[in-house]
Structure 1
Amino acid sequence: MKDLEYSEKYININGSNFYMTCVGEGEPIVFLHGGPGSEHRFFLPHILPLAKDFKLILYDQRGCGKSEGSKQHNYSMADEVNTLELLREKLGYDKLNLFGESWGSMLSLLYATTYPDRVNKILLTAAIGVTKEGFETFGREVEKKLSKEAKDKLAKLEVRLKTDHSALDQIFNILDPYYVYNTEALNRKEETINNHVVNEMIGKDILNNFDLSPKLDLLSNIPILVAQGSHDILTPALIEDLLIKSIPHARIVEIDNCGHWTVVECPEKMIEITREFFS
């Protein structure tokens, strides 16, 4: 990265400080991390080769990573859409290229159906769907994969989580192996912080309010590509039903021998797909 422009800074958006990393030059791509409640370090260092051709913009969503939390202790999908729009204005871009991972894929589509004229292209990976059905199906599919021992441990930790937020890290430690095709990939994942409150509140918001069905026609002029791992918790076949059928112009590419964490598990393939799509 010595020859690349690189900066880490806080940017003030509507009175709150958001932590952001920018690296590279060229056509900008904004990365939206998953969780809800994770942070943008998930993408690093795996996507850095793209900085030779593009300007990579990564930020921690409200209350996530190093970004300031909500003063009202309230987190919602609408607030994240508003933050992204205000970030676009701050950065001075007419349109955004969006790269959304997992929950970030939902946020990408939500933003695009709210501000369709502000989006150039969308790349989704570890996609979930266009309604809460995808989020619910994801939970059921994880449940199917869990061993009895894992289920017992998770049940105890979920009780603890009500009073001890650190239990969330232990929950993810149990779940992480189910998110990859090859567990060796776990050694390549950067250690990230997860905000339990953000995870819970936005999770509830998704279950109560996430339904893009009435507004999907607004996406018709936006190129959309879905890169889904062959062994993702939501397989490419499931994503055909949960997303592609509802957005027929969207294309899907299957990444062989890969789970939910495409960026971590198959970074070279994701870099190839991303470079070709946004070029």
Structure 2
Amino acid sequence: MAKSYVSPSFSLFMAAPGGSHLGFKPYFDGLAEHAQLVYVDQRGCGFSDEDLPENYTLERNAADIESLRHYLGLEKIYLLGHSYGGMVAMSYAIKYQENLQGLLLLATSPSYKFLEKAKAYVEKHGNSEQKYYADKLWKGSFQSEEELRNYFHALAPFYSTAAASGNAMMRPKTKHSYEPLNKGFGGFMREFDLRDRLEEISVRTLILAGRHDWITPVSESEEIHKRIADSEFHVLENSSHRIFADEQENTIRWITDYLIEKE
């Protein structure tokens, strides 16, 4: 079958609370051949302005995406979210579905249940340093950007199979915003639950997961796939949480195939 490319489409890539879009660009910029890319630093993160802690919420992050779409004068968009960004993307789809052309969910979770699995993983596999910094994550108790940077350094082998094997990853220097991260893990992420509303999502959805993901394991993506009717689901067998770093070629291939319309 011949393939034709979608007309200019728009994908928004969202970092986890406390992160920046710079961690995505080295891996996803190749998609610009098929879509106009808009990278997003969430409220209080990366290059976005800081805000009051009470405004760092899942609902506010989803509303910010809608405000940005409107500001840019876009009609229907493709929305891609990785990790916490996927939680924001699902929340956006539930509330603003009429503005979506499609939804892409990478290594994410539909509810607080992922925390229980991640804690069990660290308890079983973590060393003392990893357990120390993971405990700060669970409690939302980071006190500085340096502490958060130390967390990512200590747990890098968990986040990426490439890092675990000693291979260097493209990871540019970026601001680590600990206050939004604290608000998420120490607050609303302990009780957020989108599972009962995922059946409301009717846009075509691509779901990708890493077989060795420690923080949003495959079972979380399986739950999403089960509840979104028009979804396709693929597991990257040699990846952990940063699937786009561990298996960049396969990740881009699945996304490209999704963006391409078959005649």
- TM-score, length basis structure 2: 0.85
What is the rounded CA distance, in whole Å, between the counterparts of 1:245 and 1:156 in structure 2? 32
Compared CA separation, residues 98 and 158, structure 1 to 2 (3 A): closer
Does structure 2 retain, via aligned residues, the 8 Å contact 1:177–1:186? no
1:100 CA drift (Å): 0.7
One of 158, 161, 164 as aligned partner of 1:181: 161
Compared CA separation, residues 200 and 98, structure 1 to 2 (3 A): same
Q: State the match for 1:18 in structure 2.
A: none
Q: State the match for 2:13 in structure 1.
A: 31
Is 1:277–2:258 an aligned residue pair?
A: yes
Does structure 1 retain, via aligned residues, the 8 Å contact 2:145–2:178? yes
One of 76, 79, 83 as aligned partner of 1:98: 79
Q: State the match for 2:213 in structure 1.
A: 232
Unpaired runs of at least 5, structure 1: 1-24
Amino acid at match of 1:173: H
Compared CA separation, residues 61 and 163, structure 1 to 2 (3 A): closer
Q: Kindly report which structure 2 residues correspond to 1:157-176, keeping only aligned pairs within 5 A, or say none.
A: 163-176=143-156
Q: State the match for 1:145 in structure 2.
A: 125
One of 39, 42, 67 as aligned partner of 2:48: 67
RMSD: 2.5
1:140 CA drift (Å): 3.1
One of 49, 61, 64 as aligned partner of 1:83: 64
SS, match of residue 188 in structure 1? coil
Amino acid at match of 1:212: L
SS, match of residue 98 in structure 1? strand
1:265 CA drift (Å): 1.9
- Deviation string for 1:40-92 (max 9, x for gaps)? 00111111111122111102111111110115663111111111110010111
Does structure 1 retain, via aligned residues, the 8 Å contact 2:107–2:221? no
Compared CA separation, residues 194 and 223, structure 1 to 2 (3 A): same
Q: State the match for 1:54 in structure 2.
A: 35
- Deviation string for 1:228-257 (max 9, x for gaps)? 1121114434532x3223334422101121
Q: State the match for 1:207 in structure 2.
A: 190
Aligned residue pairs total: 249
What is the rounded CA distance, in whole Å, between the counterparts of 1:77 and 1:157 in structure 2? 17
Q: State the match for 1:4 in structure 2.
A: none
- Deviation string for 1:125-181 (max 9, x for gaps)? 1122x221124433433433212453256669999x554442111111101111111
Does structure 2 retain, via aligned residues, the 8 Å contact 1:76–1:205? yes
Does structure 2 retain, via aligned residues, the 8 Å contact 1:135–1:207? yes
Q: Identity of aligned pairs, percent?
A: 26
Compared CA separation, residues 140 and 110, structure 1 to 2 (3 A): farther
Compared CA separation, residues 106 and 38, structure 1 to 2 (3 A): same
Does structure 2 retain, via aligned residues, the 8 Å contact 1:116–1:218? no
Does structure 1 retain, via aligned residues, the 8 Å contact 2:10–2:35? yes
Does structure 2 retain, via aligned residues, the 8 Å contact 1:231–1:260? yes
Q: State the match for 2:248 in structure 1.
A: 267
Q: State the match for 1:191 in structure 2.
A: 173
